[in-house]
Chain A
Amino acid sequence: MTIGVTVQRAIHRFRPLVLSGLLLVLPFAPSMGKNVKPDPDGLPPHDVKDLHYGDVLFYFFQDDFFDSITRLLAAQQLDRLPNTQGEAELLLGGLYLSLGEHVEAGNIFEKLLNANATEAVRNKAWFYLGKVWYQRGYLQESEHALRQVSDKIQPRISAERYMLLAQLMLRENRYDDAIAALSAWHGPPDWTAYAQFNLGVALVRKGRLPDAIPHLDQVGRMDTSNEELLALKDKANLALGFALLQAQRAADARPILERVRLEGPYSSKALLGVGWADSALGEFKRALVPWMALRKRNLLDSAVQESYLTVPYAYNQLGASGQAAEFYNSAIDSFDTEMKRIDDSIEQIRSGNLLDRLLNDDKKATLTWYWQLKTLPDAPESRYLYQLLASNEFQEGLKNYRELNFMSRNLDAWRNDLSAFDDMLDTRQQAYNERVPKADAVIAATDLDALIKKRVDFESRINEIEQSNDVAALGTAEEQQNWARLKHIEDYLAMHPDDPDLAEMRDRLRLLKGVMYWRLSESFKARLWNERRSVKELEASLVETQKRAVLVKQARQDMPSNTGGFASRVTAVRERMDQLQQRLAALSERQNRFLQALAIRELEAQKRRIEVYQIQARYELAAIYDKATQAKPKAHP
């Protein structure tokens, strides 16, 4: 399974651009593109509907998708997005998509994609979902999603959708469906080339070469300077050329193969093909030209390997069996060397793990073997794997590995914070243990209500006294006593109003009462004023007490009454972290081994191919020797 370099570039650009399209759905989204300066006059107005949604966007607009999604989920949990719920869900779906969480994204989109959502939103959501499913190889899900997209959508997206569907079908070997889809498809000119290429290939596979030719030929003649399109052009010519070769139309094949660029990535195969064309036409001397050129190239290239055999083959056809034999011998030797090199490479990959363990490398399964292969001075080994490394499977695996790495580092960073939390909680717990009883005591001792009642009662009493001019009420204890006594005597006298003996007493009383009254009156005003002042002071201290009570209550509230709650949360979160990091380590190792296995599988396949060639070489060599011995005159009787 091979995929060109173009796809890798596409994949790298894929993630952020998924969302750029998505954001265009959102009502206020301005244009993306980092290098595009906003239009000087006339930027759209922004009204911040939810601060925390804006916060999420701040990270999103800088392509910090991980931070963005963390904050979005947190904001949702804390109910901080009252006005932007719908948009937030859409963005969340898009973020999950961009992070490769297609299951989550799918769930969100499917929830969103009810009758209430606009068609535009629905279409976009389904489309992007389909794309991601496709990329990850979930073809059935992809087709299902893509088929939900209605035709009422931007032409570019519609075109890509058809393209994707067609490719889906090709991958599932549903050639006729693919042909039908592509034939009826009209898209942007720069994509027509790819569609035609795919169509041509599908037709070839279906055995409909005559139908395929015009399409592949058109792509093969395309006038372009775009690097990716040039590579496609080469591919088309190569495919057509070989198809024609297989159909025994060597004369037609040759000029087409010659269109392939000499400095391009397909030139080796093209050279091989040209030689075959010549050979099929019986022009062996001419065939030697491309084949000898090919033979000088790096033996790691499969086309070159083949040329090691085709050259002596040609010589043999030309009757130069001596040279043929030489070349066969040389081929056998070169193949031997090559196979040994492959064995070494395999060994290196295999022992990559062993290496780590030997050296007690605590950095979880690093891809040292991969980097080593790429950077060894004897770099040729990496060219074996060039095809593999460019393959989707390997790249996705590598990406997984990198993502695992990222997650590991993310959790490591949090781990530091967690121990800081622990310290903080300990300190708080201590402070809490000290301050809470104190606060509680204060609060208990402060019976504000009683105080307030007291004050109210006091004030009303004074008002009463003032109203009724009850001068006696403000008297000193002694005065009040005396006044009471006088009252008492007065009452007694009142009971015996006609008793003449009591007349003097009555007079006395009158005098005393008058004096007393006069005295009390004199000081009444002052005393009243004094009392009122006391009330004011009482009032002030009451207010003070009130304030203090509030503060203490406040502080009491500030002391998290659930410090215990926090501690257990931190413990819980730490446990999860431990588990996750264990899983990460295990997964990293598995991923690493998977990649190793891919690489080894590829290398072994290469080795087998060379073996096959080698066997063939030996066989042909033997045939030549046989012929030579037969040709020798029978010398002895």
Chain B
Amino acid sequence: MSKIHRVCVFALSALLAGAALSANPTLVGKPAPDFVLKSMDGRNLRLSEFRGQVVLVNFWARWAGDSRQELPALDRINTTYGRAGLVVLGVSVDEDARRAREFADAMKLGFPILFDTMSDIGREYLIEKMPMTILVDRSGVVRYVNAGFKRGDDRTYLGQIRELLRE
């Protein structure tokens, strides 16, 4: 195997290991659209104020069945990595804020739950498939877009999170 070839193979595998096969190639590498929403505990939270930390933004809804599985997994991630500089934000795109609130309450999640009843933030983030988990690096740039959720996906998130935390 020639040196160049070896380097190429290495590069490719490194790339594949590192980069998520995103369903949304257009948002990755771009600055995350800023937003400010009211959280369940009454605070107004603005995404850009978390610059310097790694942010996991999860778009969920009551009607997106996989959210039921994903949210507790995210809660565990939040507990572990919260201290290491990770911020987890849950954005509900449910139009019925009251029901969404009850749903979230029942789950007893340890991270802020925000409500985007007008769905304009969802649009800016080009959400097609729900739920969606986006990872934003310390400089505010979208690095990974994970559309949908199935068991084991949280392990992928961990890899992405660890990489971004190291920067």
Contact between chain A and chain B defined by CB under 8 Å = yes
Cβ-defined contact, B7 with A375, below 8 A: no
From residue 325 to 357 of chain A, which have CB atoms closer than 8 A to chain B? 351, 354-355
A-facing mask of B1-28, CB < 8 A → 1, else 0? 0001001100100110000000000000
Which A residues are CB-close (under 8 A) to B72? Answer: none
The answer to whether A136 has its CB under 8 Å from any CB of chain B is no
A-facing mask of B134-167, CB < 8 A → 1, else 0? 0000010100000000000000000000010011
Which of A354, A368, A409 interacts with B31 by CB under 8 Å?
Answer: A409
From residue 130 to 185 of chain A, which have CB atoms closer than 8 A to chain B? none
Cβ-defined contact, A351 with B7, below 8 A: yes
Which B residues are CB-close (under 8 A) to A62? Answer: 49
Which of A358, A375, A406 interacts with B166 by CB under 8 Å?
Answer: A375
The answer to whether A556 has its CB under 8 Å from any CB of chain B is no
Cβ-defined contact, B31 with A358, below 8 A: no
Which of B7, B14, B29 interacts with A372 by CB under 8 Å?
Answer: B14
Kindly report which residue of chain B lies nearest to residue A377, judged by CB atoms: B17
Which A residues are CB-close (under 8 A) to B139? Answer: 402, 405-406, 409
The answer to whether A10 has its CB under 8 Å from any CB of chain B is no
Cβ-defined contact, A358 with B167, below 8 A: no
Which A residues are CB-close (under 8 A) to B29? Answer: 363
Cβ-defined contact, A358 with B163, below 8 A: no
Which of A359, A363, A405, A409 interacts with B11 by CB under 8 Å?
Answer: A359
Cβ-defined contact, A355 with B11, below 8 A: yes
Per the bound structure, the CA–CA distance linking A365 and B53 in Å amounts to 23
Cβ-defined contact, B166 with A371, below 8 A: yes
Per the bound structure, the CA–CA distance linking A413 and B49 in Å amounts to 19
Per the bound structure, the CA–CA distance linking A264 and B99 in Å amounts to 53
The answer to whether A574 has its CB under 8 Å from any CB of chain B is no
Which B residues are CB-close (under 8 A) to A359? Answer: 11, 15
Cβ-defined contact, A358 with B14, below 8 A: no
Given contacts A374-B166, A406-B139, is CB(A355)–CB(B7) below 8 Å? yes
Per the bound structure, the CA–CA distance linking A354 and B11 in Å amounts to 10
Which of A354, A355, A371, A409 interacts with B167 by CB under 8 Å?
Answer: A371
Which B residues are CB-close (under 8 A) to A375? Answer: 163, 166
Expressed in whole angstroms, the minimum distance between the Cβ of B45 and any Cβ of chain A is 14
From residue 363 to 404 of chain A, which have CB atoms closer than 8 A to chain B? 363, 368, 371-372, 374-375, 402
B side interface size, CB within 8 A:
14
Main secondary structure of the interface of A (DSSP, over half): helix
Per the bound structure, the CA–CA distance linking A21 and B163 in Å amounts to 35
Expressed in whole angstroms, the minimum distance between the Cβ of A368 and any Cβ of chain B is 8
Kindly report which residue of chain A lies nearest to residue B163, judged by CB atoms: A375
Which B residues are CB-close (under 8 A) to A374? Answer: 166
B7, B11, B29, B139, most chain A CB atoms within 10 A? B11
From residue 68 to 127 of chain A, which have CB atoms closer than 8 A to chain B? none
Per the bound structure, the CA–CA distance linking A289 and B91 in Å amounts to 58
From residue 524 to 577 of chain A, which have CB atoms closer than 8 A to chain B? none
Per the bound structure, the CA–CA distance linking A368 and B166 in Å amounts to 13
Cβ-defined contact, A413 with B11, below 8 A: no
Which of A358, A371, A405, A406 interacts with B7 by CB under 8 Å?
Answer: A358
From residue 83 to 119 of chain B, which have CB atoms closer than 8 A to chain A? none
Which B residues are CB-close (under 8 A) to A363? Answer: 29
Per the bound structure, the CA–CA distance linking A348 and B141 in Å amounts to 26
Which B residues are CB-close (under 8 A) to A368? Answer: 14
Which A residues are CB-close (under 8 A) to B31? Answer: 409, 413
Per the bound structure, the CA–CA distance linking A47 and B107 in Å amounts to 47
Given contacts A405-B139, A406-B139, is CB(A354)–CB(B166) below 8 Å? no
Which B residues are CB-close (under 8 A) to A372? Answer: 14
Expressed in whole angstroms, the minimum distance between the Cβ of B132 and any Cβ of chain A is 23
Expressed in whole angstroms, the minimum distance between the Cβ of B166 and any Cβ of chain A is 6
Kindly report which residue of chain A lies nearest to residue B7, judged by CB atoms: A351
Kindly report which residue of chain A lies nearest to residue B141, judged by CB atoms: A409
Per the bound structure, the CA–CA distance linking A351 and B8 in Å amounts to 11
Kindly report which residue of chain B lies nearest to residue A354, judged by CB atoms: B7
Per the bound structure, the CA–CA distance linking A114 and B49 in Å amounts to 39
From residue 402 to 419 of chain A, which have CB atoms closer than 8 A to chain B? 402, 405-406, 409, 413
Expressed in whole angstroms, the minimum distance between the Cβ of A186 and any Cβ of chain B is 37
Expressed in whole angstroms, the minimum distance between the Cβ of B124 and any Cβ of chain A is 14
Per the bound structure, the CA–CA distance linking A77 and B139 in Å amounts to 30
Which of B4, B49, B141 interacts with A358 by CB under 8 Å?
Answer: B4
Expressed in whole angstroms, the minimum distance between the Cβ of B39 and any Cβ of chain A is 18
Per the bound structure, the CA–CA distance linking A619 and B59 in Å amounts to 66
Expressed in whole angstroms, the minimum distance between the Cβ of B29 and any Cβ of chain A is 7
Per the bound structure, the CA–CA distance linking A374 and B14 in Å amounts to 13
Kindly report which residue of chain B lies nearest to residue A368, judged by CB atoms: B14
Per the bound structure, the CA–CA distance linking A354 and B163 in Å amounts to 23
Per the bound structure, the CA–CA distance linking A409 and B30 in Å amounts to 9
Expressed in whole angstroms, the minimum distance between the Cβ of B140 and any Cβ of chain A is 9
Which A residues are CB-close (under 8 A) to B4? Answer: 358
Kindly report which residue of chain A lies nearest to residue B4, judged by CB atoms: A358
Per the bound structure, the CA–CA distance linking A48 and B167 in Å amounts to 41
From residue 30 to 50 of chain B, which have CB atoms closer than 8 A to chain A? 31, 49
Expressed in whole angstroms, the minimum distance between the Cβ of A70 and any Cβ of chain B is 16
Expressed in whole angstroms, the minimum distance between the Cβ of A357 and any Cβ of chain B is 11
Per the bound structure, the CA–CA distance linking A402 and B163 in Å amounts to 17
Expressed in whole angstroms, the minimum distance between the Cβ of B49 and any Cβ of chain A is 8
Expressed in whole angstroms, the minimum distance between the Cβ of A400 and any Cβ of chain B is 15
Which B residues are CB-close (under 8 A) to A413? Answer: 31
Provide a sorted-by-A list of 23 A–B residue pairs whose CB atoms are within 8 angstroms: A62-B49, A351-B7, A354-B7, A355-B7, A355-B11, A358-B7, A358-B8, A358-B11, A359-B11, A359-B15, A363-B29, A368-B14, A371-B163, A371-B166, A371-B167, A374-B166, A375-B166, A402-B139, A405-B139, A406-B139, A409-B31, A409-B141, A413-B31
Not counting A354-B7, A405-B139, a sample of 15 additional A-B residue pairs whose C-beta atoms are within 8 angstroms of each other reads A62-B49, A351-B7, A355-B7, A355-B11, A358-B7, A358-B11, A359-B15, A368-B14, A371-B166, A375-B166, A402-B139, A406-B139, A409-B31, A409-B139, A409-B141
Listed in ascending order, the chain A residues whose CB lies under 8 Å from chain B are: 62, 351, 354-355, 358-359, 363, 368, 371-372, 374-375, 402, 405-406, 409, 413
Listed in ascending order, the chain B residues whose CB lies under 8 Å from chain A are: 4, 7-8, 11, 14-15, 29, 31, 49, 139, 141, 163, 166-167
> Which 6 A/B pairs are nearest by Cβ-Cβ distance?
A355-B11, A351-B7, A374-B166, A359-B11, A375-B163, A375-B166
